[in-house]
Structure 1
Amino acid sequence: MQKSGWHYTIRNVIPWTSPPTTIPIPYTFIYNVKIMIKCLIVDDEVIAHQILEQYILQTDDLTLAGNCRNAMEAFAKLEQQTVDLIFLDIEMPLVNGVTFLKTLHPTAKVVFTTAYAEYALQGYELNVADYLLKPFSYERFLQAIQKVKALLATPTDQPASPYQGHLLVKEKEGLLKIPYTDIIYIEGSRDYMKIVTDNRTYLVHLTMKKLEEMLPPDRFVRTHKSYIVSIARIKVIKPGEVTLTGLQAVPVSSNYKDIVLNSFSK
């Protein structure tokens, strides 16, 4: 029998005796661990979700991690968890699939699912695993899955960096890409984070902890429970504060002063 991605094979049954002199093991199991591929569907069509859900359900090694109707929902979902494979539509409201794909971490494999054949070349230029032209059969779906499995099984020379040279955040305008080099400091409040750059200030709904995880530690340092600063923008360190580009003073608490000094001296 099969359960939750594990194979169970009964090798032998040892009958119980009464009373037993020792406690026998009634079953000997051999476990064959299967790697489950976590899938995310990003599509604005209800029928596309229904078909892909059914295909995923009836395919070994696949599990559904979530459903999103647009790129904004997908971005929020991927902030909460990682996935292995994204089935991504192209023509969607707010942000199209191609634009969204350019923001993704490279370890997640992507299969385009679209009714428009003209995007095929662009998809392959973006190194997608496969391109499924709607409507597609289950057999064609399985071909795409085999390609994904081969890519996931291929070892890389070195782990990919989770940092892409920019911070990707949601604002009321939509998805925003803020280059690390533009960021001077980040200030936290109860309801939002204020990201201060050379040109403007962004207000985003993220926790300080989550923002800190999204930033490369060799470029940014926490100075206070409410502040993160760009190391390159630190000009002067004083007792209890740092002076940044533009003579902006940011507090340094006693809990972070050693970390700040160490980062600044490297």
Structure 2
Amino acid sequence: MKKINCIIIDDEPSSQNVLEQFVESVDYLVLKKVCNHAIEAKKVLEEEKIDLLFLDINMPLISGLEFYKSLKEPPLVIFTTAYSEYAVEGFEVNATDYLLKPFSFDRFLVAVNKAKDILTQNGDKLLLKADKKLHLINFDDILFINSLGDYVKVYHNSNFLITYSKLSSLIERLPKNKFIQVHKSYVINFQKIDVIEGNHILIQENKIPIGQKYKSNFTNKLNSY
């Protein structure tokens, strides 16, 4: 079973202790760090691959909600708080679940099982945040991806999504046997190529340039295909 790397972000020692005990009781959860506030957590997220946050909402320096909204590529989140009035806003940012303190281990387990189901389904899918929603896109449905500076446009079937991400970060999440970068601004699904014409690739109605820097790698993959 896939292990889920998680961190606890809470400024109350008693809440930290309860969450630590609960996390240790679930064999697929791996606790990477207990953080006292969001600034500490941000450093962990920059250094570690984290799949899931247990995030208190009412904290010093910056609230859990504002912190989560500020993340460019946020992990899944389970909000934990003593204040029920935050529930609606929590779900507006696509929280996996919302735990109202004090909560039982059974209720905790329901929440983490939801996260596990999402991450398990994500094995052959790309999880993207766009339009204030979480989208699971099959890798096989993706045609190509176009960088737009701090955003990327993901074309899939006859649709597209725009999400806040660097192209380089997104490339790390794509299966290498399916996708290849052909230009500083383009990554394509190799199996979706219709025509190669000079220094351009045609995928359906879309004409994608092949950059000089990427041409040799693309040619090698084409020859071995």
Distance change in 2, residues 1:223/1:65 (3 Å)? farther
Give the TM-score taking structure 1 as reference length: 0.50
Contact map agreement 2:152 2:166 (CA 8 A) in 1: yes
SS of residue in 2 equivalent to 1:164? helix
Deviation, 1:86, is 5.6
**Bigger proportion of residues as helix:** 2
Is 1:65–1:83's contact at 8 Å kept on the other side of the alignment?
A: no
CA-based RMSD: 4.1
Give the distance between the partners of 1:263 and 1:65, measured in 2 at CA.
44
1:201 aligned partner = 160
Higher relative contact order (CA 8 A, sep 6+): 2
The Cα offsets for residues 47-106 of structure 1, whole Å up to 9 and x where unpaired, read as 7x553446789xxx97425767xxxxx9xx8586324986555875233436x9xxxxxx
| Residues 125 and 53 of structure 1, relative CA distance in 2, 3 Å threshold | closer
Deviation at 1:260, TM superposition (A): 1.5
Which structure 1 segments of 5+ residues have no match? 1-37, 69-73, 101-112, 129-160
Give deviations 1:154-183, integer Å, cap 9, x for gaps.
Answer: xxxxxxx9x721111221322221111121
C-alpha displacement of 1:210: 0.5
Q: Is the 8 A contact 1:56 1:62 kept in 2?
A: no
Please tell me whether residue 186 in structure 1 is matched to residue 145 in structure 2.
yes
1:51 maps to a residue whose letter is S
Classify 1:123/1:174 alpha carbon distance in 2 versus 1 (closer, same or farther; 3 Å).
closer
Q: 1:64 aligns with which of 13, 26, 34?
A: 34
Q: Percent identity over the alignment?
A: 22
- CA, structure 1 residues 228+39, in 2 after alignment: closer, same or farther (shift >3 Å)? closer
1:209-230 CA-to-partner distances (Å, cap 9, x unmatched) read 1111111111110000000000
Query: Which residue of structure 2 aligns with residue 218 of structure 1?
Result: 177
Larger radius of gyration: 1
Aligned length: 169
Q: Which residue identity lines up with residue 250 of structure 1 in the other structure?
A: I
1:118 deviates by 6.1
- The verdict on how the C-alpha distance between 1:173 and 1:39 changes in structure 2, with shifts beyond 3 A counting, is closer
Length-normalised TM-score, structure 2: 0.57
Residue 220 to residue 54, structure 1, CA distance change in 2 (3 Å): same
Asked whether the equivalents of residues 186 and 194 of structure 1 are also in contact (C-alpha less than 8 Å), the reply is yes
Distance 2:127 2:36 in 1: 21
Q: What one-letter code is carried by the residue in structure 2 that aligns with 1:247?
A: E
- 1:226–1:65: structure 2 CA closer, same or farther, 3 Å change rule? farther
State the partner residue of 2:216. Answer: 258
**Is contact 1:185-1:197 (8 Å) kept?**
yes
Equivalent position to 1:166, from 125, 132, 137? 125
Shift of 1:184: 0.6
Show structure 2 runs of 5+ residues with no match.
21-30, 55-77, 81-86
> In the alignment, is the contact (CA less than 8 A) between 2:8 and 2:19 conserved in 1?
no
